[in-house]
Each structure stands twice: as structure tokens, then as C-alpha cells.
Amino acid sequence: MSIGVSVVREQQFSAQTLVVRGQDNTRNPPLRIASDIIGNPLTTIKTINMKENIIIKRATKDDCKTLANVIETVVQAIPYYNDLAKQSEIAKFQTSDLISKIEADKHSVIIATINDEIVGFCMTRFDDYIILLEWFGVLETHRGKGIANLLLTALNETISIRQCHKIWCDCRTSNKASIHILTNHGFKQLVTILNHWYKQDFILWEKEINR
């Protein structure tokens, strides 16, 4: 099950700083910076009006224990999933699972940090030369800062690293926030599946990537 996106390929990354001016741009970062973020996933985005540094980067093994806690916090608070879904999804992303995931594919987990605190994540999986976006999420206390947009933008621009041509994912039919952001990032609805994973209703999405 997924509510987010993924991708990967071997590449050397260099740090770079971008400045996003204005409150509107902070909430919805312009896609014109995508190539910079993609080419440099360690990019620091300075949001002047908020006086915060939002850093988008690949997760490392050292991040996994804290990240597992962040994932649990985000998933537990989501109102769209039943208890069975929450328990099952949290169980998939414990510390050891995340370490194994990164060992298999170091690009599969992207995180957002503010002042060295993990505040958001985007987890993906290589799926026969398309990318499955497993989950993306942001701590409730840090929403409204454009972090989810930054995570998906960074993810989108790294697709060619894995030599893939498409991203696919799913979300609950009642998850208006995910429907909104996926639509804004160019995802197209494929089908609605009723009474599916965890006996709940889902929308399947895809996004073609121009290589």
C-alpha cells in the first residue's frame, strides 16, 4: 500500500543552496527548482519568511531508528486508515526494515530535516522498471511548509537514475490531501478499487516520466 512515490540511480551529489522567496512559494515551492533538487538531493532550501532550513536528502542507516518513530507517528495520526492498516504498515517500516531497504537501494528513502530533526519522508521501491511510491508523509507540526512538495519534486527528478519511466502509487479514496498533491504533481487516476487492501477503498495512480 502506498500514498507517495519513489525512484533511484547512482549519482554524485553536491550541496547547493536555493532561496525560495515569499509565503506562497514556501507553501508550494515552484517546480522550476526541480532540476536543482534532483541533481543535488542534499540541497538546502532556505525559506526566508520562516527562517528555517529544510534539507531534503537520502536517509542513512543512522537515521533509521528516528525515522521509524516518525513514520509511526505520522501513520497513527492518519484518519483515513483503519487500525489493521495502520498496524500492518507501521510493522513494515521498523528500524531493521529501513536499514535493509537502504542497503538494497540507497535512494529508496528520502527524508526532510529541519535543524537536524526528521520531519518528513518519502519511501519508494523499484518495481520491474517502474517505481512504486510506498509512502510519503510529514509530521503534523511541520505541515503547510511545502515539505511534501519538495520530497515529491526531488523524487520525480531522480527517476532516470533507476532507468525507470513511470511512478505508480495508491491512496485512500477519502484522502483529499493526497489526491490534491498527487494531481498537482502530474499523477493521473487509473481506477478506483473498492473493498481492497485492508478492506478499504483505494485509487490507483500513475505518472509517466519523460526521460
Distance CA 56, CA 190 (A): 29
> How far, in Å, CA of 190 to CA of 168, rounded?
10
Q: Which DSSP letter does residue 146 get?
A: S
- Give which of 72, 108, 74, 79 is closest to 93, Cα–Cα: 72
Domain 17-208 has CATH 3.60.20.10: no
What does the domain layout of the chain look like in residue ranges? Answer: 17-208
d(CA 177, CA 6): 18
Mean pLDDT (whole number) for 81-97: 98
Question: What pTM did the predictor assign?
Answer: 0.79
Buried/exposed code over 88-112 (b: 16+ C-beta within 10 A; e: otherwise) = ebbeebeeeebbebbeebebbbbbb
Query: Where residue 13 falls among pLDDT bands split at 50, 70, 90?
Result: very low
Structure confidence at residue 211 as a pLDDT band (50, 70, 90): low
Q: How far is CA 139 from CA 9, 61, 77, 113, in A?
A: 27, 20, 9, 11
| Amino acid 162: pLDDT | 84
Mean pLDDT of the chain: 81
> Is 120 within 8 Å of 112 (Cβ atoms)?
yes
pLDDT recorded at residue 107: 86
**pLDDT tens figures, 59-88:** 999 999 999 999 999 999 999 999 999 999
Cα dihedral sign for 45, 47, 48, 53? negative
